Amino acid sequence: PRGLATALRGNPRLFPRTDWLTRFVSAGASSGTSTSSSTSTSIEVTPEPPPHGIRLSKILASHVSNMVVSRREAERLIRTGNVTFAGKVMTIPHVYIDPTEITSGSLKVGNKAVLLNERTKGKDAQSAAAATEKTRIWLVHKLAGEVVTEKDPHGRPSMIDRLVRGGVGKTKNSKKQRVHLKPIGRLDMTTEGLILVTNDGEYAHQMEIPKNKLHRTYRVRVHGLLSPYKLDRIRRGLTIENTRYKGMIIKPESKGRGTNTWVKITCTEGKNRMIRNVLQHLGLTVTRLIRISYGDYFLDKTPLGMAVEIPPIPLKSQKRLGPLIKKKPKPKKESASAESEGEASPIQW
Output the pLDDT for position 49: 53
- H-run or E-run covering 156: none
What value does the mean pLDDT take over residues 271-287? 94
Q: Which residues are catalytic?
A: 188
Half-sphere exposure of 112 (CA within 13 A, CB side): 11
Output the pLDDT for position 173: 60
- Indicate whether 194 pLDDT > 90: yes
First to last CA, the chain: 60
Decide if 104 contacts 113 (C-beta within 8 A).
yes
**What is the DSSP secondary structure assignment for residue 214, as one 8-state letter?**
B
pLDDT digits over 121-167, tens only? Answer: 666 556 655 555 688 999 999 999 999 987 788 889 999 989 988 88
Decide if 233 contacts 279 (C-beta within 8 A).
no
What value does the mean pLDDT take over residues 251-279? 87
DSSP states of 156-200: --BHHHHHHHTTTTB-SS-SS-BPPPEEES---TT-EEEEEEES-
DSSP states of 26-37: HHHHHTHHHHHH
- Closest CA relative to residue 69, chosen from 87, 93, 90: 93
- H-run or E-run covering 19: helix 19-30
- H-run or E-run covering 56: helix 56-62
Note the helical H segments in 249-335. Answer: 274-281
Range in 42-56, 214-228, 262-276, 328-342 with the lowest mean pLDDT: 328-342
What value does the mean pLDDT take over residues 224-234? 92
Range in 119-128, 172-181, 210-219, 224-233 with the lowest mean pLDDT: 119-128
C-alpha distances in Å from residue 322, one per residue of 10, 146, 212, 267? 64, 31, 6, 10
Maximum Cα interatomic distance, the chain, rounded to a whole number of Å: 98
| Kind of pairing between the strands at 249-255 and 260-267 | antiparallel
Decide if 116 contacts 99 (C-beta within 8 A).
yes
Range in 56-65, 166-175, 179-188, 275-284 with the lowest mean pLDDT: 166-175
Question: What are the two backbone dihedrals, phi and then psi, of residue 157, each rounded to the nearest 5 degrees?
Answer: -60, 135
Residue type, 175: K
CA 107 to chain centre: 30
Percent of the chain with pLDDT over 90: 40
Tell me the three state secondary structure of residue 46: coil
C-alpha distances in Å from residue 335, one per residue of 331, 340, 342, 345? 12, 9, 12, 14
- Indicate whether 329 pLDDT > 50: yes
Decide if 71 contacts 58 (C-beta within 8 A).
yes
| Kind of pairing between the strands at 192-198 and 285-294 | parallel
What whole-number distance in Å separates Cα of residue 93 and Cα of residue 90?
Answer: 8
- Indicate whether 33 pLDDT > 50: no
Output the pLDDT for position 99: 82
Question: pLDDT confidence of 175, banded at 50, 70, 90?
Answer: low
- Indicate whether 348 pLDDT > 90: no
What value does the mean pLDDT take over residues 260-267? 93
Decide if 145 contacts 157 (C-beta within 8 A).
yes
- Indicate whether 45 pLDDT > 70: no
- Closest CA relative to residue 152, chosen from 142, 162, 143, 144: 162
- Indicate whether 43 pLDDT > 60: no
Decide if 55 contacts 95 (C-beta within 8 A).
yes
Residues 6+ apart with CB under 8 A from 263: 219, 220, 222, 226, 250, 251, 252, 253
